[in-house]
A and B are shown apart, each in its own frame.
Chain A
């Protein structure tokens, strides 16, 4: 039986002039919907969210790897029958953070437009000679804006200390052109102090520790943890026993330096490192250069020939 049909009252597509205050919303009854939206509505995942989750998984995975590595090292160190023979070199995977090339961005964090300024507060009575040597090395590698200031807590400073970082760079008025800032402030402090990023780092105290920080910026440190430990050992010996110890201790250190330098040109072997810098500066500051054993004197001469120690000698008088 035919059903009753109603004639359409109005044609399907009348053009209506909409006033400007109304807006069109898409027709939900029309065919040809976006498949992506479809997927979303069916409980699918937004691609951006997927990427974020992927990154989180990656970070977690790396964290687990690091944790595993640390656990492994703890086991080998604490268990007495570890079959790792330290003296024959390392078999641990060298998971070095710096991978040999030192890029300031990866070392110090992304540059937000502010000059990355290393601020060192030192007492004029005890100038940090090793830091001056490291400054010279940094200048060779990066564009460094160096400046020396005198703090109001100190009334006067000899002119040699004011010019210890060398002549002022001709471009020093344009701070933006430099990659790294090195600001040395002569101040009445009991212990040498370095401030870098006050929001995320606490100040570093002690010449040796600041030297280690600056040396890492050069990216030239020994990758091998055994060598790195030996380097640290020499630095500590220099700072505690050579610089602050009695004459007996100093003599003992000089003898061990002599012995080590008899075997190789530099303290860690064939390569010049931070250990050489710090030890040489401590020897020079203690005034023992002329009375030191033969190998030590030869080694001091080699340091001088490298050219990085030129800034130190004027301050020794």
Chain B
């Protein structure tokens, strides 16, 4: 190619370049112009906004509460917002359950624990447009302080718990803001399973709930379940204290596995290792030998069973009882069943709201029981099962499906969800169970069932050191490991019996729920260690 051509081409290129550059410049100019326009507009709007916002000091995000000042302000609970407070101006602290803007109005539903109330913010002489916009944009679950006037409503607000009143908001401040994206929606978490499938709306599955337990525990159902569980614990304590029992605390780090070495957690203990207690059994009995006569203890129990079922946890709260008796271990059974009946009665009489709340999401039959508690013998149970077509041996242990079937048969005949099965075969019970004096194949042991599932396993304990040694050898247990246990019976031990229940399981079965993780706040199972 000749120079001229190159030059020509270069010139063309230059010309093309300049054309391109021109176009580019033009575009940039347009962009800049548009931007300037927008900014001008925003500035104008801002000015407008600032101009019109007469309510600027009646809303906003409060600075973080670092205990800067002591405000002498009484906050009313949502629970207490009733028609009696009509026309009063009060402050309320609650969470934003939902917020919905409609033109010049904003409807908020405020929630505190199980109680919700509707709040209304309308553009008027007290609230500006910006204030309503601010309220509508608040994220769900944020904690806010609201000053409002309580107003009576003619038509009941069905969707709230406080149905007769509504709040007309004057001031609204954010105390703690929540992130915009919640890992789960509370309405979804409270929706019953069937309803979710039918209407195509979401329900939250268990793993998501357990991973985000803090939010899941805020739902009305969870609040009701755990308040009821607290009631169970309290009724247990109160009833036993009234019967003259003493509450004891037993150690959880122990040197020897009590019920066989398979299901214990090992912890490193300085230069050796120790175990986490599977049950307070040994220590309860030692207290009886130490003349405390009637003891109970409430504490964690650790079972390293790799069973991923609906009713097993690796750590749960055990409510254990041990009692010395005069002549017959039925005295202890009567005491334990009476305690359980008092707990059921207390729940029936004082926790109906909680039971109804749980039933809304998890419908179930109310819990029925007899007073005094029904007591059947193991032989009768086997006969009932055989009559119903089950094939089993006379000394066989009851399998889980058989237990459930037996529960149904007992329910059909006696209409009770709670009963005791007495005189289990000796072969299926631990080595410290006292054998039946009249029939060596059976033992003085019993199980209690709720809704066909076992909640308590108990027995008269062997209180004689020699018999205990024989039974331990019969079961092939290393005597060295349980030497301390056997020693406690060598210096005079009263005849005694007892048993223990699991708090979570009892709550689950009382409410008719189907998974023990629903009644354990932060459950532990072979697959879950957090939260």
Residues of A within 8 A of B (CB): 112-115, 117, 119, 121, 147, 149-153, 155, 173, 175-176, 183, 185, 187, 195, 197-199
Whether the Cβ atoms of B383 and A112 lie closer than 8 Å is yes
28 residue pairs A–B, Cβ–Cβ below 8 Å: A112-B386, A112-B387, A114-B383, A114-B384, A119-B413, A119-B414, A147-B372, A149-B374, A150-B370, A151-B369, A151-B415, A151-B416, A152-B345, A152-B348, A152-B368, A152-B370, A152-B371, A153-B368, A175-B377, A176-B379, A183-B414, A185-B370, A185-B414, A195-B412, A195-B413, A195-B414, A197-B387, A198-B412
* Cβ-based interface call for B388 (8 A): yes
* A119: B residues at CB distance < 8 A: 413-414
| A152-B387 in contact (CB<8A) | no
Docked Cα-Cα span, A248 to B384, in Å, equals 50
A199-B387 contact, Cβ under 8 Å, with A119-B414, A183-B414: yes
Q: Does B328 contact A (CB under 8 A)?
A: yes
- Residue in A closest to B380 when the chains form the complex, CB atoms: A114
CB distance from A135 to the nearest CB of B (A): 18
- Which chain A residues border B345 with CB–CB below 8 Å? 152
Nearest A residue to B329, CB-CB = A173
Identify B379's interface contact among A114, A195, A199, CB under 8 A. Answer: A114
Q: How far is the CA of A197 from the CA of B369 in the complex (A)?
A: 20
The CA of A176 and the CA of B381, in the complex, are separated in Å by 12
Note all chain A residues with C-beta closer than 8 A to B367: 152
The number of chain B residues with a CB under 8 A from chain A is 31
- In the bound complex, residues from chain A placing their C-beta under 8 Å from that of B387 are 112, 114, 197, 199
Instruction: Kindly identify which residue among A155, A173, A198 contacts B328, using a CB–CB cutoff of 8 Å.
Output: A173
| Chain B residues whose C-beta falls within 8 Å of the C-beta of A176 in the assembled complex | 377, 379
Minimum C-beta distance from A269 to chain B (A): 39
Q: Are B368 and A175 in contact (CB under 8 A)?
A: no
Q: Which residue of A lies closest to B382 (CB)?
A: A113
Contact (A113, B370) CB under 8 Å given A121-B415, A152-B344, A199-B388: no
CA distance A153 to B416 in the complex (A): 11
Q: Distance (Å) between the CB of B15 and the closest chain A CB?
A: 99
Chain A residue at minimal CB-CB distance from B412? A198
B330 touches A (CB below 8 Å)? yes
Q: B residues 317-337 with Cβ under 8 Å of A?
A: 328, 330
Q: Which single residue of chain B is at the shortest CB-CB distance from A109?
A: B387
* Closest chain B residue, CB of each to CB of A150: B371
Closest A residue to B369 by beta carbon equals A152
Looking at A113, A114, A147, A152, the one whose CB has the most chain B CB atoms below 10 A away is A152
Distance in angstroms between the alpha carbons of A152 and B371 in the assembled complex: 8
Query: In the bound complex, do residue A149 and residue B409 qualify as a contact, i.e. CB atoms below 8 Å apart?
Result: no
Task: Provide the residues of chain B in CB contact with A197, threshold 8 Å.
Answer: 387
**Cα(A21)–Cα(B380), bound, Å:** 46
Report whether over half of chain B's contact residues are helix, strand or loop; otherwise say mixed. Answer: helix
Beyond contacts A175-B380, A195-B412: 20 other A-B pairs, Cβ-Cβ < 8 A, are A113-B379, A113-B382, A114-B383, A119-B414, A121-B415, A149-B372, A149-B374, A151-B369, A151-B370, A152-B344, A152-B368, A152-B370, A173-B330, A175-B377, A185-B370, A185-B414, A197-B387, A198-B409, A198-B412, A199-B388
Per-residue CB proximity of B352-375 to A under 8 Å, as 1/0? Answer: 000000000000000111111011
**CA–CA, A113 to B423, complex, Å?**
14
9 tightest CB-CB pairs across the interface, nearest first? A114-B383, A113-B383, A149-B370, A112-B383, A114-B380, A198-B412, A150-B371, A152-B369, A198-B413
A195 to B415, CA, bound (A): 10
User: CA–CA, A6 to B328, complex, Å?
Assistant: 89
Q: Which A residue's beta carbon lies closest to that of B366?
A: A152
Complex CA–CA separation, A197 to B330 (angstroms):
27
Q: What distance in Å separates the Cβ of B452 from its nearest Cβ neighbour in chain A? A: 15
Report the minimal beta-carbon distance from A108 to chain B, rounded to whole angstroms. Answer: 13
Chain B hits for A198, CB < 8 A: 409, 412-413
CA distance in complex: A149, B415 (Å): 11
Q: A198 CA to B413 CA in the complex, in Å? A: 6
A149 to B373, CA, bound (A): 8
- A residues in contact with B370, CB < 8 Å: 149-152, 185
Contacts of B372 in A (CB 8 A): 147, 149
Residues of chain B lying within 8 A (CB to CB) of residue A152: 344-345, 348, 367-371
- Of chain B, the residue at the smallest CB distance from A196 is B413
Report B493 CB to chain A, min CB distance, Å.
23
Give Cα A75–Cα B383 distance, bound, in whole angstroms.
44
Complex contacts, B377 vs chain A, CB 8 Å: 115, 175-176
Tell me, rounded to whole Å, the shortest Cβ–Cβ distance linking A90 to chain B.
Answer: 38
Which residue on A lies nearest to B439, using beta carbons? Answer: A176
Chain B: CB-nearest residue to A189: B415
Query: Smallest distance from the beta carbon of A147 to chain B beta carbons, Å?
Result: 8
> Which A residues are CB-close (under 8 A) to B371?
149-150, 152
Q: How far is the CA of A152 from the CA of B414 in the complex (A)?
A: 12
- What is the chain B residue whose CB lies nearest that of A117? B413
Interface centre among B371, B376, B382, B384 (most CB of A within 10 A): B371
B-chain residues with CB within 8 Å of residue A112 when the two chains form the complex:
383, 386-387
| CB neighbours of A185 from chain B (8 A) | 370, 414-415
Most-contacted residue by chain B among A113, A115, A147 (CB, 10 A): A113
Question: A152-B348, A152-B369 given as contacts; is B380 within 8 A of A113 (CB)?
Answer: yes
The CA of A115 and the CA of B414, in the complex, are separated in Å by: 14
Which residues of chain A are near B369, meaning CB under 8 Å?
Answer: 151-152
Closest to B381 in A: A114
Q: How far is the CA of A153 from the CA of B374 in the complex (A)?
A: 16
Give the chain B neighbours of A151 by CB distance below 8 A. Answer: 368-370, 415-416
A105 to chain B, nearest CB (A): 14
Q: How many angstroms between the C-alpha atoms of A183 and B409 in the bound complex? A: 16
Produce 1/0 per residue, B293-317, CB < 8 A to A. Answer: 0000000000000000000000000
In the complex the two chains form, what is the Cα distance from A20 to B410 in whole Å? Answer: 54
**Closest Cβ–Cβ distance, residue A223 to chain B (whole Å):** 31
CA distance A114 to B377 in the complex (A): 8
Q: How far is the CA of A153 from the CA of B388 in the complex (A)?
A: 28
Q: Which residues of B contact A115 (CB under 8 A)?
A: 377, 380
CB distance from A169 to the nearest CB of B (A): 13
In Å, the complex CA distance between A197 and B383 comes to 12
Residues in chain A near residue B383, CB distance under 8 A: 112-114
Give the distance in Å from the alpha carbon of A268 to the alpha carbon of B10 in the complex. Answer: 138
The minimal Cβ–Cβ distance linking A265 to chain B, given in whole angstroms, is 40
User: What's the least CB distance linking B439 to chain A, in Å?
Assistant: 10
Question: For window 475-530 of chain B, which residues contact chain A by CB distance below 8 Å?
Answer: none
The residue on B at minimum CB distance from A153 is: B368
Most buried by A among B328, B380, B386: B380
Least Cβ–Cβ distance between A303 and chain B, in angstroms: 32
Residue in chain B with minimal CB distance to A197: B387
> In the assembled complex, which residues on chain B have CB atoms less than 8 Å from the CB atom of A114?
379-381, 383-384, 387
Contacts of A155 in B (CB 8 A): 349
Contacts of B348 in A (CB 8 A): 152
With A and B bound together, what is the CA distance between A112 and B389 in angstroms? 13
A183→B388 CA distance, assembly (Å): 21
Which of A175, A187, A195, A198 has most B Cβ within 10 Å? A198
Alpha-carbon distance between A183 and B371 when the two chains are bound, in angstroms: 12
Residues of A within 8 A of B330 (CB): 173
Nearest B residue (CB) for A111 = B383
CA distance in complex: A147, B386 (Å) = 25
